Amino acid sequence: MAYASTLKRGVLASLLVGIASVWLLACQVSDSHPQEAEGGSQALALWYNRPATTWTEALPVGNGRLGAMVFGGVDQEVLQLNEDTVWGGGPNNNVTPSLKPYIEEVADLVLANRHEEAQRLADEHIASSNSGMPYQTVGNLVIDLLHEGSADGYRRSLDIGQAISSVKYRMAGVTYYRETFSALSEPAVVTRLSADRPGQMDLDIRFDSPMAHSVSVDGERLRVDGKGADHEGVSGKVRFTMFVQPVLDGGTLESSGDELRIRNANTVTLYTVVATNFVAYDDVSADETAKAEAQLAQALTASYDAVRETHIAHYREQFDRVTLDLGPTDNDDRPTDERLKAFAGGEDPALAALYFQFGRYLLISSSQPGTQPANLQGIWNPQMTPPWDSKYTLNINAEMNYWPAEPTNLSELHDPFFAMIDDLSVSGRKAAERLYGAEGWMVHHNTDIWRITGQVDGAYMWGQWLGGAAWLTQHIGYRYHYTGDRDFLARYYPVLKEAARFYASMLTEDPDTGWRVLVPSNSPENDYLHRGEGEQQAAIDAGVTMDNQLVFDLFTLVEEASEVLGQDEAFADELAELRKQLPPMQIGQYGQLQEWLQDWDSPDDKHRHISHLYGLHPSNQISPYRTPELFSAVRTSMEMRGDESTGWSMGWKVGIWARLLDGNRAYKLLTDQIKLVDENTESFESGGTYANMFAAHPPYQIDGNFGVTAGISEMLVQSHDGAIHLLPALPDAWPEGQVSGLVTRGGFVIDMAWQNGKVTEFTLHSRLGGPVRIRAHRAPTASTNVAVNTIDDPNSGSPNPLMQTPTIKTPLIHRPGVVKAPSVAPVTLVELETERGQDYRFYF
């Protein structure tokens, strides 16, 4: 297949298809049937030949705020509904000032190397007033379909090219159609039911929920009023109102008790809205019923076809920014669950591409400007107390949710995450002052919609971690380095500065080494002393590797922002001096990157968290070119940890192996993750993928999906190490393909094609202008008159200020003889100057 010659034509063809689709939609009449995701569009469809019988077989739709899981039954359709502000409890902060003297005593014990005593004291006394509130379901909209007979020709699908779920089947000579979407253009979930013969729509509409609620018929609509639950001593303060408004073509509508009955209709369109009294994390004073009334009125202002058309256009404006073709497949005609089951044993590159795009679909569907950020399950949860309360776990999971935002061209979807960081910079002042007597703001390893900042789930291995603010604020740097947006940097500079003030005031001299360390903290979520069940364990420590790396990055980012914005030079100088006193990274007795200050790593430790490897990914402190010994040590640590783990961990490992420039090992992790599991899978760290392509921890966590999407982008393009590296970790399984729309640091956009594992052609679009360096298998030839200069020194600094690499301390190597020399494929480094808004095309 001549990918190089078709690269630009493929993008143009996609655009023309999109225009044609919108035109066709505009021409549809009100009783038109949904266009099935068959033929050529099937590459962007999940599909099944039977209804969902479990929640992890149902298909997700969402508009960032309002989500539904669509089961697609024949006799009964169930839409399990969520709204992103329906949480348990109410405004509170779990900071418990009485813990302060115990935290100080624990820190003293750790610094005196009395770790077991420190752990016992922490476990006994460091516990907050609550461990956060749960994200909760709204409930189930149930549609009972009153037709008789057995169905044939059943097909249930989710078209992620249009963000529409559909069902089609035939019964007693009638073909029935159903489609559902959560409108990105309107505040409603919209469901259309129709058939190829008139008068076939006989159905009852009802609602059930585990939440405290009441159901009534309000005129010609169903009304639900409910509230969030009390939890751990905090009263439920969230109230919600839900309306379901049927719009009929023909037929009759009646009510019976708390149900709606529709008979003999040609088509039925349901508009479902949900609103709450939530205003902000510290304000629940809104009128939920008035909000729901306004939402419904807005949704009903346009025809169904118009709402559908606008929804698709809004969605495609975001989704179509990136296309990915990893090669042909013979499996398009197989249901998605069968393809998942067979993936590891056969060749199905298109399923890997679908998995990548499904992650982007989920981010679009669970995070839009103005919504809450995607939580541990995005916006989809059927329970009152889901696993880990479906909160925001800040020691990896919440950050991982947003790893795809910048590189996969969905930058504005990052906005809810920044809004949460802004909130935490206010609520976190209480934690800094009352728990640590420190300046600035901080947050521990977990938060919720109420922006709690105290310890969660006790001190052991997780609750006492101090790195939350340092990791969260790295995303401010990601946005700036990808977009060059100085206004954004200025807007969030105070958040950065106050986070840095916390760590500057917390760094303590380690009496054994003289280094400045954070104490007491953890290396999430691991321990270094584990003597067996029932025996003493210890995880509390000082100066853990991840904390050192995070503080280094935060201080570096504040120094950069200070220079860019021309302010706080003295404070930046203070941080630079403190940064010099941080511990260096260390390579231990096995040639591994040490997780702790002491050489406590064990070759038998298969823990899912690889926190100490943050310096390689998502950070850029470790490089094959600048720090080869540390690069080798990361690989040794990865070999020791092994591959199989939880879904989110395997997503992270895909990215780590990509950064290690090992495409085949990254692909191996990908096959470990893209394997079919079900809700009966009991292994806590088996990973895998459910039939609906949700990532399994198990149970379900959405960060596994986002981690894999980000990891695949890292396999194709990297830009963290001073240059744009093309195909840095391409596996043998993807010898030919093409991608368009991936974004890099410096504001560059890459369209690229490859054959036989080598780039054949690429186009560089420069959004900001400025210099750029390219790494590839050999020097490219420009199709236009632009100077391309070869750079002989791979370690020379990038001339682009948005693509700078850090200078770290020389690592301590305790046994130099065990450190393996890294094996890195030879590359050519070239440099060119670009102009804002211009395209530069190259071939090899």
Q: What is the pLDDT of residue 347?
A: 81
Q: Do 762 and 752 touch, CB atoms closer than 8 A?
A: yes
Q: What is the pLDDT of residue 83?
A: 98
Q: What is the pLDDT of residue 680?
A: 81
Q: Average pLDDT of 178-190?
A: 98
Other CB atoms within 10 A of residue 514 CB? 9
CA dihedral 49, 52, 55, 58 (to 10 degrees): 50
Q: Is the pLDDT of residue 413 over 80?
A: yes
Q: What is the pLDDT of residue 535?
A: 65
Q: What is the pLDDT of residue 533?
A: 61
* Alpha carbon separation from 139 to 77, 78, 240, 384, 554 (Å, rounded): 14, 10, 11, 10, 42
From the number of C-beta atoms within 10 Å of its C-beta (0-12, 13-18, 19+), residue 449 rates as buried
Q: Which of 27-36, 454-463, 699-708, 786-795 has the lowest mean pLDDT?
A: 27-36
**DSSP classification of residue 155:** E
Q: Which of 34-43, 47-56, 164-173, 736-745 has the lowest mean pLDDT?
A: 34-43
| 3-class SS of residue 313 | helix
Q: Average pLDDT of 197-219?
A: 97
Whose CA is closest to 186, among 271, 267, 253? 271
- Please state, rounded to an integer, the average pLDDT across all residues of the chain: 93
Q: Calculate what percentage of the chain has a pLDDT beyond 90.
A: 89
Cα separation of 588 and 504, whole Å? 28
The pLDDT tens digits of the residues spanning 661-709 come to 999 999 999 999 999 999 886 666 678 999 999 999 999 999 999 999 9
Q: What is the pLDDT of residue 534?
A: 59
* Phi and psi angles of residue 161, each rounded to the nearest 5 degrees, phi first: -80, -20
Q: Do 52 and 337 touch, CB atoms closer than 8 A?
A: no
Q: What is the pLDDT of residue 10?
A: 37
Q: Average pLDDT of 201-229?
A: 97
CA dihedral 156, 158, 163, 164 (to 10 degrees): 0
Name the β-bridge partners of 208. Answer: 140
DSSP 526-551: --SEE-STTS-EE--BSS-HHHHHHH
The pLDDT tens digits of the residues spanning 291-304 come to 999 999 999 999 99
Q: Is the pLDDT of residue 8 over 90?
A: no
Q: Do 189 and 79 touch, CB atoms closer than 8 A?
A: yes
Q: Name residues whose C-beta falls within 8 Å of residue 359's C-beta, 6 or more positions apart in sequence.
A: 404, 705, 706, 708, 709, 710
